[in-house]
Amino acid sequence: MPTALVTGASRGLGAVFAARLARDGHDLVLVARDRMGLERVSASARRCGVAVEVVVADLSDERGLAAVQHRLADRSRPVDLLVNNAGVEGEGQFAVADMWDLQAEIDTNVTAVMRLTRAALPGMIERGRGGVVNVASFAGYLAGPGNAYAATKAWVLTFTDTVSASLAGTGVGMIALCAGRMRTGKHPVPEGASAMWLEPEAVVDECLADLARGRTLSVPGWRYRAVVDMLELPRRTLRTLAKLAGRGRQQQQPPAEAATVRLRAAA
């Protein structure tokens, strides 16, 4: 069976990813700080007949992060799908926020995503198959005032865009999940705003379907998608121009090489 490693798997969207992947027949490696939450999610997953490994680790702590890196890099127990779901969102304005809380936000939302992806990719590329899901946020496009969370999610979007471009032809896919507000129970749903809140099960289903289609960005919910499509238009245009410029250089290269050959023959 394929194996998926999910961070932040003890509750919320991570637990939903774990449940869906277990139903699909994936063995699981579940990572989070909350042992009781992990045991609850793992017990539910095992009822689907899959093997589940629990790793209690704080990804903002060097030892915890290193342990998960080591598990991902273990060629004898390959991981076919990495879901970088763990995330920290601080409260309050940046200028008065606790420095250690801000650092934990960076360590979890940025450093852990980068290091775990780096640990997973070599084995996936070597096997010619695999996938990485990086959970970003709609806040990465339209930031709320005053905190650092949105900046970390903007980094996740750019990181995914950059690294996925280097994976063409490897059999490995990478996608950023740009999710809006979800009914995970983490936040109360305000009256009159329910149309903007998404069901996490539908978010996971759409993300995995987009990954299977080879897409690098998944934006569940038509309202969010309409805004992101508008914001992404300049970037898509630049990518297209870059590809065209690249083809142009490739088309111009053979005549230059032929000229070099002629000069050498003449010499």
**Separation between Cα atoms, residue 50 and residue 120, nearest integer Å:** 21
Q: Is 8 exposed, middle or buried (0-12, 13-18, 19+ CB in 10 A)?
A: buried
Q: Are strands 130-135 and 81-84 parallel, antiparallel or unpaired?
A: parallel
Q: Which of 138, 149, 155, 159 is catalytic?
A: 149
Q: Spell out where the chain has E strands.
A: 3-7, 27-32, 52-56, 81-84, 130-135, 172-177, 217-218
246 membership: H or E segment, kind and range = helix 222-266
Q: Are strands 3-7 and 81-84 parallel, antiparallel or unpaired?
A: parallel
Cα 156–80–149 angle (5° rounding)? 15
Respond yes or no: is residue 141 known to be catalytic. no
User: Which residues lie below 8 Å from residue 16, measured CB to CB, with a gap of 6+?
Assistant: 184, 200, 201, 203, 204
Q: Are strands 27-32 and 3-7 parallel, antiparallel or unpaired?
A: parallel
**Separation between Cα atoms, residue 155 and residue 147, nearest integer Å:** 14
**Separation between Cα atoms, residue 28 and residue 54, nearest integer Å:** 8
Residues designated as active site: 149
